[in-house]
């Protein structure tokens, strides 16, 4: 990825991340932050990742057409989870793309939600594709499951050609500042008191990332598992759904280390250090309502 730290980027236009890879995002006034749909083009074929909310649709589509793409060149829509900020524009996309063979690609666990947005396209699971999407040219996208980071069907997408890893909510941020590419200052890297910036900066990028994961991810184990899953992938940049793209190796290592040591994530922040011995004890319910004895532990296979 080129040195883009000093470029005066125009966020009203598509922004190139790599050859044939573009940010086509939009400012979400309701959320007060930017969402990051990305489009990968390959000759006359394109794939849109996390296409955006219903309100984002006009801006996203204008950027796509400004690249020089016709909507009908989009062969697949990839949704890395099922939230409205990603899927809300799906009905509009189906209409303007107008392809009978349009594919909606996601984990099977997301389909039960995504189907309520879709009216015509075929839902394809990662498993059905053997966790790969291949363009007509042979260019390949790989899908890697990161369950419960944040939803059961969350996953990330690796473009083997550009070596960009599209990470969804993983590595996302609460930041409301405009800045697609995140480069940490040396002072930030050495700071040990987030978010109390010694320089009195209004927006701490590291705290915004940590705070997002603390609240959004399912648990410490889920977050660490996701980091384990992406560790072997030969990526050179991390492109999240919210916040800035990470491309500096030192910054990526630091954020990964901080996330791997983050405590109180998701349900762990609710339970704390309490023992699981009494959690889920249904005896008070049985005493009040009666009924059969406690069942043996249940395991449900996939």
Q: In terms of domains, do 266 and 167 share one?
A: yes
What phi and psi values does residue 300 have, to the nearest 5 degrees? -110, 120
In this predicted structure, what is the pLDDT of residue 190?
Answer: 77
Q: In terms of domains, do 67 and 188 share one?
A: no
Q: In terms of domains, do 98 and 164 share one?
A: no
Residue 136 lies in a domain: no
- 38: β partners: 23, 49
CB 37 within 8 A of CB 64: no
H/E run at residue 250: helix 249-260
In this predicted structure, what is the pLDDT of residue 72?
Answer: 95
Q: In terms of domains, do 215 and 268 share one?
A: yes
Residue 254 lies in a domain: yes
Residue 290 lies in a domain: no
End-to-end C-alpha distance for the chain, whole angstroms: 39
Q: In terms of domains, do 190 and 121 share one?
A: no
Residue 198 lies in a domain: yes
- State the DSSP code for 293: P
Q: What does R_g of the chain's alpha carbons equal in angstroms? A: 21
Q: In terms of domains, do 187 and 99 share one?
A: no
In this predicted structure, what is the pLDDT of residue 111?
Answer: 92
Of 106, 130, 154, the one marking the end of a domain is 130
In this predicted structure, what is the pLDDT of residue 35?
Answer: 83
1-22 per-position pLDDT tens digit: 544 544 678 888 999 999 899 9
Q: In terms of domains, do 21 and 94 share one?
A: yes
In this predicted structure, what is the pLDDT of residue 271?
Answer: 80
Residue 171 lies in a domain: yes
Residue 137 lies in a domain: no
Residue 2 lies in a domain: no
Residue 222 lies in a domain: yes
Residues 204 and 207: their CA atoms lie apart, in Å, by: 5
Spell out the residues 6+ positions from residue 102 whose beta carbon is closer than 8 angstroms to its own. Answer: 74, 75, 76, 77, 94, 120, 121, 122
171-214 per-position pLDDT tens digit: 998 776 667 898 887 777 777 777 666 665 567 888 889 989 99
Residues 184 and 187: their CA atoms lie apart, in Å, by: 8
- State the DSSP code for 219: B
| This prediction's pTM | 0.89
Spell out the residues 6+ positions from residue 23 whose beta carbon is closer than 8 angstroms to its own. Answer: 14, 15, 16, 17, 36, 37, 38, 180, 239, 245
Q: Which domain holds residue 217?
A: 143-272
In this predicted structure, what is the pLDDT of residue 2?
Answer: 47
Q: In terms of domains, do 75 and 182 share one?
A: no
Q: In terms of domains, do 118 and 148 share one?
A: no
Q: In terms of domains, do 112 and 206 share one?
A: no
Residues 202 and 200: their CA atoms lie apart, in Å, by: 6
In this predicted structure, what is the pLDDT of residue 4?
Answer: 53
The number of distinct structural domains making up the chain is 2
In this predicted structure, what is the pLDDT of residue 3?
Answer: 47
Residues 57 and 236: their CA atoms lie apart, in Å, by: 29
Q: In terms of domains, do 18 and 126 share one?
A: yes
- 34: β partners: 27
Mapped onto helix, strand or coil, the DSSP state of residue 211 is helix
- In the predicted model, residues of the chain with pLDDT beneath 50 are 2-3, 5-6
């Amino acid at each position: 990825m080129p040195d883009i730290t000093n470029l005066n980027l125009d966020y009203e236009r598509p922004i190139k991340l790599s050859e044939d890879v573009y940010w086509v995002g939009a400012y979400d006034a309701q959320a007060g932050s930017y969402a990051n749909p990305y489009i990968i083009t390959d000759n006359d074929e394109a794939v849109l990742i996390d296409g955006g909310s219903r309100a984002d649709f006009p801006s996203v589509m204008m950027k796509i057409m400004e690249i020089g793409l016709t909507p009908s060149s989009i062969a697949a829509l990839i949704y890395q989870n099922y939230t409205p900020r990603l899927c809300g524009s799906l009905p509009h996309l189906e209409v303007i793309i107008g392809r009978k063979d349009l594919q909606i690609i996601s984990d099977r666990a997301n389909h039960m939600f995504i189907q309520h947005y879709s009216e015509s396209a075929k839902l394809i699971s990662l498993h059905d594709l053997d966790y790969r999407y291949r363009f007509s040219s042979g260019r390949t996208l790989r899908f890697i499951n990161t369950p419960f980071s944040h939803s059961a069907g969350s996953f990330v997408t690796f473009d083997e050609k550009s070596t960009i890893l599209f990470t969804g909510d993983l590595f996302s941020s609460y930041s409301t500042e405009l800045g697609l590419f995140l480069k940490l200052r040396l002072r930030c890297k050495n700071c040990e008191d987030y978010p109390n910036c010694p320089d009195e900066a209004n927006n701490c990028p590291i705290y915004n990332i940590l705070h997002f994961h603390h609240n959004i991810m399912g648990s410490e184990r889920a977050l660490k598992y996701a980091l384990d899953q992406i560790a072997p992938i030969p990526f050179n940049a991390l492109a999240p759904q919210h916040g800035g793209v990470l491309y500096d190796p030192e910054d990526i290592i630091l954020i990964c280390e901080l996330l791997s040591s983050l405590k109180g994530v998701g349900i762990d922040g609710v339970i704390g250090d309490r023992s699981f011995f009494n959690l889920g004890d249904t005896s008070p319910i049985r005493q009040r309502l009666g009924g059969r004895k406690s069942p043996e532990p249940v395991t449900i296979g996939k």
